[in-house]
Amino acid sequence: MHPTPIQTHSAPAAVGPYSQAMQSGNLLFCSGQIGLDPATGLLVPGGIETETRQALENLKAVIRAAGGSTTDIIKTSVYLTDMADFATVNAIYAEMLAPAKPARACVAVAALPKGACFEIEAIAQL
């Protein structure tokens, strides 16, 4: 079985040579999502809270396009440009992904695409 690219207009187009997600069998590998507005392709204003909410909405849209939901997420990786945002991100993450509690890694990075302060990628089992 060959991997199938997943594409939706409900999430921002990829900002590079990659797919929003790739499905292989019942596994969905979602590329990183930052807080881009799908309609404009621009980073949403407002900082960590609005970026986190938008990135999670983008991730949800990609997973829905493959026929899944947040309860199908088994692993996420979160990238922050400032670990001082950890508690804020945790609260929004818990709210928006409830009741799912996937395995997760969270790391600080020097920079993210388009000047974002939050990025999330995920693996889901559909």
b/e code 54-75 from CB counts within 10 Å (16+ = b): bbbbbbbbbbebbebebebbee
Structure tokens that stand for 98 in this block: 């409830």
- pLDDT digit string (tens) for 45-102? 999 999 999 999 999 999 999 999 999 999 999 999 999 999 999 999 999 999 999 9
Q: What is the pLDDT at residue 15? A: 82
Q: Are 27 and 93 in contact (CB under 8 A)?
A: no
Is 30 one of the catalytic residues? Answer: no
Choose the catalytic residue: 22, 96, 106, 123. Answer: 106
- pLDDT digit string (tens) for 58-70? 999 999 999 999 9
Domains and CATH numbers, the chain: 4-125 (3.30.1330.40)
